[in-house]
């Protein structure tokens, strides 16, 4: 079974902590342990795991991506959002997170972030369990 999380973004680029929402799905897992796969089915949004203790980390990541891949008309893609496609490809479209005793196994400062690069938009995040055999 695939679970869907609705994500509403509010700006062109944004990192949204979805850890608690993924954890709520893991709480309902039929298995005590396994892996949860989080997949973004969009070409201009991605997902990553990174620090959530200091909000400046998100600010720095987004600023660095904007600097290296600015929104521009220099790209061949006619929609004007090639920078968003590049950023999403670099971060990736899925992460796998272990869970044990129905709790996500993340490092002390880690969180799961949905990354918007062509917003604001209504998006979705798909989550699937792979139970421990």
Burial degree of 42 (CB within 10 A; 0-12, 13-18, 19+): buried
**Confidence (pLDDT) at 55:** 92
Supply the pTM of this predicted model.
0.95
Q: For domain 2-131, give the CATH number.
A: 2.60.120.460
Contact status, residue 112 vs residue 18, Cβ threshold 8 Å: yes
**Mean pLDDT, range 61-71, rounded to an integer:** 95
**Mean pLDDT, range 9-15, rounded to an integer:** 98
Rounded Cα gap, residues 28 and 52, in angstroms: 24
**φ and ψ of 39, to 5 deg:** -125, 135
SS3 category, 85: helix
pLDDT tens-place string over residues 80-133: 789 999 999 999 999 999 999 999 999 999 999 999 999 999 999 999 999 876
pLDDT tens-place string over residues 29-56: 989 999 999 999 999 999 999 999 999 9
For residue 54, CA distances in Å to 3, 20, 94 come to 29, 17, 23
């Amino acid at each position: 079974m695939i679970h869907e999380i609705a994500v509403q973004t509010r700006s062109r680029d944004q990192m949204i902590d979805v850890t608690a929402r993924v954890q709520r799905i893991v709480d309902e897992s039929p298995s005590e342990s396994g892996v949860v796969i989080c997949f973004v089915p969009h070409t201009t949004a991605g997902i990553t795991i990174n620090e959530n203790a200091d909000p400046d980390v998100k600010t720095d990541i987004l600023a660095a991506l904007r600097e290296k891949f600015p929104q521009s008309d220099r790209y061949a893609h006619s929609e004007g959002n090639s920078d968003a496609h590049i950023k999403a490809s670099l971060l990736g479209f899925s992460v796998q997170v272990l869970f044990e005793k129905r709790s996500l196994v993340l490092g002390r400062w880690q969180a799961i972030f949905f990354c918007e690069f062509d917003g604001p938009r209504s998006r979705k995040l798909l989550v699937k369990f792979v139970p421990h055999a």
